[in-house]
């Protein structure tokens, strides 16, 4: 796996994405479970079935483009960003000095946003080790930059996030990551109960600036367009209310570019030991 990624990291992005598209289709055809998740999740969100093929190919691109992010220098990685929309919101948040909570869902190239920001300021992101121990060091090396810091997905990591915000730094979250039992609540996501993390919502209560962020994958391997903007509606209320609002913000982002959402992710799974979702 590491050897393959090293080869991919030296190929042009256009070729990497072409290979990724084929890999996406191969995965879709060979895995009944993955195929079912893609079909059911897109249907639940009301996404036209005609977009399924494009979504399958984009998911494959997401898998292999990581090689060019993790195994290239930060300068080379960031050179793939050809356009940034909403950077003025980032600058305003930096000037406010209260820290930034970047909400980056599984949309587009979600690895590149924190990498890009780390060239301009310190950012701490939660890290959950992969199941394959053989690639763990490669991921750690690829994600650790001079100003990009990793925090384990446990209590010590939460403390690290809070500490970073208190210092006026940025943190990064995957708000649509399915949490472990006891770390979430059942809330609607595209109209269906999904076990939703409360940590992201709690961090927005610190007074830090919340910004939605995602990296749009441009066609033909032309690079990436990054998007940064505040929530469409200011987050307010108790933690659970904020968590539901964040779900709605993610839904709005996904509708902007439905083919680049990771529909094969089992977003509606029930964590072991968690209560069953409410009956609709």
Give the count of beta carbons closer than 10 Å to the beta carbon of residue 202. 15
- Mean pLDDT in residue range 64-74: 92
Give Cβ neighbours of residue 145 (< 8 Å, ≥ 6 apart). Answer: 74, 115, 118
Q: In whole angstroms, give the CA distance from residue 67 to residue 138.
A: 10
Structure confidence at residue 110 (pLDDT): 92
Q: In whole angstroms, give the CA distance from residue 264 to residue 13.
A: 23
Give the count of beta carbons closer than 10 Å to the beta carbon of residue 110. 19
Q: How many domains are there within the chain?
A: 1
List 193's β-bridge partners, or say none. Answer: 188
Tell me if 48 is assigned to some domain: no
Q: In whole angstroms, give the CA distance from residue 123 to residue 125.
A: 7
- Mean pLDDT in residue range 69-76: 91
Tell me if 31 is assigned to some domain: no
Structure confidence at residue 272 (pLDDT): 87
Pairing of strands 100-103, 209-217: parallel
**Residue-number span of the structural domain to which 157 is assigned:** 74-260
The C-alpha angle 185, 132, 261, rounded to 5 degrees, equals 50
Dihedral angle sign, alpha carbons of residues 253, 199, 36, 219: positive
DSSP character for 270?
A: -
3-class state of residue 140 by DSSP: helix
pLDDT digits (tens, 9 = 90+) for 127-166: 877 676 666 777 777 777 789 999 988 899 999 999 999 9
Residue 273 falls in which region: left (phi positive, over 0), alpha (psi -120 to 50) or beta: left
Lowest-pLDDT range of 7-11, 99-103, 221-225: 7-11
3-class state of residue 218 by DSSP: coil
Tell me if 56 is assigned to some domain: no
Judge whether residue 201 has pLDDT over 80.
yes
- Mean pLDDT in residue range 198-209: 96
Tell me if 20 is assigned to some domain: no
Tell me if 226 is assigned to some domain: yes
Greatest CA span in the chain, whole angstroms? 50
Tell me if 237 is assigned to some domain: yes
3-class state of residue 230 by DSSP: coil
* 91-105 exposure pattern, b = at least 16 Cβ within 10 A, e = fewer: eebbeeeebbbbbbb
Structure confidence at residue 53 (pLDDT): 97
pLDDT digits (tens, 9 = 90+) for 10-57: 999 999 999 999 999 999 999 999 999 999 999 999 999 999 999 999
Tell me if 17 is assigned to some domain: no
pLDDT digits (tens, 9 = 90+) for 233-275: 999 999 999 999 999 999 999 999 999 999 999 999 999 888 8
Mean pLDDT of the chain: 93
pLDDT digits (tens, 9 = 90+) for 161-195: 999 999 999 999 999 999 989 899 999 999 999 99
Q: In whole angstroms, give the CA distance from residue 28 to residue 6.
A: 25
Q: In whole angstroms, give the CA distance from residue 112 to residue 114.
A: 6
Tell me if 14 is assigned to some domain: no
């Amino acid at each position: 796996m590491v050897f393959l990624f090293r080869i991919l990291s030296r190929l042009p992005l256009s070729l990497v994405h072409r290979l990724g598209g084929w890999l996406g289709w191969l995965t879709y055809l060979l895995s009944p479970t993955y195929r079912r998740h893609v079909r059911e999740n897109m249907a639940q969100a009301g996404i036209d079935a005609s977009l399924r093929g494009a979504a399958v190919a984009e998911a494959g691109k997401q898998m292999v483009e990581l090689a060019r992010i993790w195994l290239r220098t930060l300068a080379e990685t960031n050179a793939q960003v050809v356009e940034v929309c909403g950077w003025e919101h980032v600058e305003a948040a930096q000037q406010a000095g209260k820290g930034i909570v970047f909400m980056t869902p599984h949309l587009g190239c979600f690895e590149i946003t924190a990498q890009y920001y780390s060239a301009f300021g310190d950012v701490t992101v939660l890290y959950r080790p992969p199941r394959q121990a053989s690639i763990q060091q490669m991921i750690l090396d690829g994600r650790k930059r001079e100003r990009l810091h990793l925090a384990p997905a446990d209590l010590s990591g939460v403390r690290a996030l809070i500490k970073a915000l208190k210092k006026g730094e940025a943190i990064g979250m995957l708000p649509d990551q399915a949490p472990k039992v006891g770390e979430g609540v059942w809330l609607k996501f595209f109209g269906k109960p999904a076990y939703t993390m409360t940590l992201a919502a709690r961090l927005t209560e610190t007074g830090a600036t919340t910004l939605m962020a995602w990296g749009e994958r441009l066609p033909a391997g032309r690079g990436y367009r990054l998007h940064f903007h505040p929530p469409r509606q200011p987050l307010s209320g108790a933690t659970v209310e904020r968590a539901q609002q964040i779900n709605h913000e993610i839904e709005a982002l996904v509708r902007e570019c439905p083919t680049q959402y990771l529909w094969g992710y089992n977003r509606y799974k029930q964590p072991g030991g968690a209560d069953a979702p409410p009956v609709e």
